[in-house]
Amino acid sequence: MSPIASVQTLKPTIRGAALMLAACAAYAGVNVATQWAGTRTGIPSVVIAFWQYVIALVLTLPLLIREGARALRTNHLGLHIIRVGLAAAGVQVWIFALTHVPIWQVIALSMTSPFFVILCARLFLHEAVTQTRLLTTLVGFIGALIIIAPWSDTYTVYSLLPILAAALWAGYSVMTKYLTRFETTASISVYMLILLTPINGALWAASGVGFPEIASPSAEIWTILLTIGVLTAMAQYFQIAAYSAADAVYLQPFDDLKLPLNVILGWIVFAATPSINFWPGALLIVGASLYLMRQDSGRSTTRLQAAE
């Protein structure tokens, strides 16, 4: 086996892991910037959401120019609509959960999403669910639980809401992976933003928050909105590119890295010191991700050697 062949075999899994890590970092940036916009500048959440995806859509237009009209050609419009519907529903359930369940509990339960991804990927995408993939996903989930420490309070019936949100987002992730079989990364990104924009616009209109309230915003407001939009566009593109490179099941432990990245970035920006539970939990999450990447990469090399 030549070194070039070996690199080409390892490249998809490593590239997928790197892209998912980049997406996690971008999402962490979105979360911190959004928190800054809401707590430091007082921008209403519905306004943030609307401009977030409008700006991201504008920034995605170069992809349309590069891809041409084919980026909007699709025989799977219904699948795009279902995917965006799952994402929008997940957000609404998530927000409702936050009004009834302590935030630490919501975050911890949302980390059950990989289990739903594994189930859906096995049933609908026919992806392999090896023992290694299952165990590393479980280790990442345990790491998240250690960080959040959800066992300290009593659960209520509303605790099922974050699990429902996790299931909806898992459906969104698996649908994204499925669409990469037929659609380009640019097409999937653009349709997501195009379909989300009217939804967010309708929510803004229904909220009663008038546009004149931000008709003459300061440079700080527009800067933070632009930052959120840019990071959202980057996160969407990196995530979809990751699903194009590697299996959805394989990528799930890397998606867990959003949790420590959010904590670290929040620590830097807001001086919010994480609890002592953060460190062992983060170690489990990062360790499981690196171990899975090494095992899957090694398995790919073995398959190529056997073929030769």
Dist CA 149 CA 278 (whole Å): 10
Residue 213 in this model has a pLDDT that exceeds 60: no
Domain membership of residue 33 (yes or no) is yes
Residue 132 in this model has a pLDDT that exceeds 50: yes
Domain membership of residue 1 (yes or no) is no
The pTM for the full model equals 0.68
Residue type, 183: E
Domain membership of residue 152 (yes or no) is yes
Q: What is the pLDDT of residue 6?
A: 41
Residue type, 233: A
Domain membership of residue 4 (yes or no) is no
Residue 152 in this model has a pLDDT that exceeds 70: no
Q: Which residue has the tokens 């609509």?
A: 81
Query: For the chain, how many structural domains are there in total?
Result: 1
Dist CA 301 CA 295 (whole Å): 10
> Range of 130's domain?
12-212+222-306
Output the six-digit token pair for 274. 């994480």
Residues 6+ apart with CB under 8 A from 198: none
**pLDDT tier, 71 (very low <50, low <70, confident <90, very high otherwise):** low
184-188, 227-231, 301-305: which has the highest mean pLDDT? 227-231
Domain membership of residue 172 (yes or no) is yes
With CA atoms as reference, report the closest residue to 161 among 84, 98, 104.
98
Q: What is the pLDDT of residue 46?
A: 77
pLDDT single digits (tens) 247-262: 876 787 787 777 778 7
Note whether 245 and 15 are within 8 A (CB): yes
pLDDT single digits (tens) 158-205: 777 878 888 898 888 888 888 888 777 777 777 777 787 888 788 788
**pLDDT tier, 227 (very low <50, low <70, confident <90, very high otherwise):** very high
Share the mean pLDDT of the chain. 75
HEC letters along the chain: CCHHHHHHHHHHHHHHHHHHHHHHHHHHHHHHHHHHHHHCCCCCHHHHHHHHHHHHHHHHHHHHHHHHHHHCCCCCHHHHHHHHHHHHHHHHHHHHHHCCCCHHHHHHHHCCHHHHHHHHHHHHHCCCCCHHHHHHHHHHHHHHHHHHCHHHCCCCHHHHHHHHHHHHHHHHHHHHHHHCCCCCHHHHHHHHHHHHHHHHHHHHHHHCCCHHHHCCCCHHHHHHHHHHHHHHHHHHHHHHHHHHHCCHHHHHHHHCCHHHHHHHHHHHHHCCCCCCCHHHHHHHHHHHHHHHHHHHHHHHHHHHHHHC
Output the six-digit token pair for 90. 């997940």
Q: Which residue has the higher pLDDT, 293 or 133?
A: 133
Output the six-digit token pair for 115. 């289990």
Q: What is the pLDDT of residue 304?
A: 35
Residue 15 in this model has a pLDDT that exceeds 70: yes
With CA atoms as reference, report the closest residue to 270 among 38, 55, 103.
38
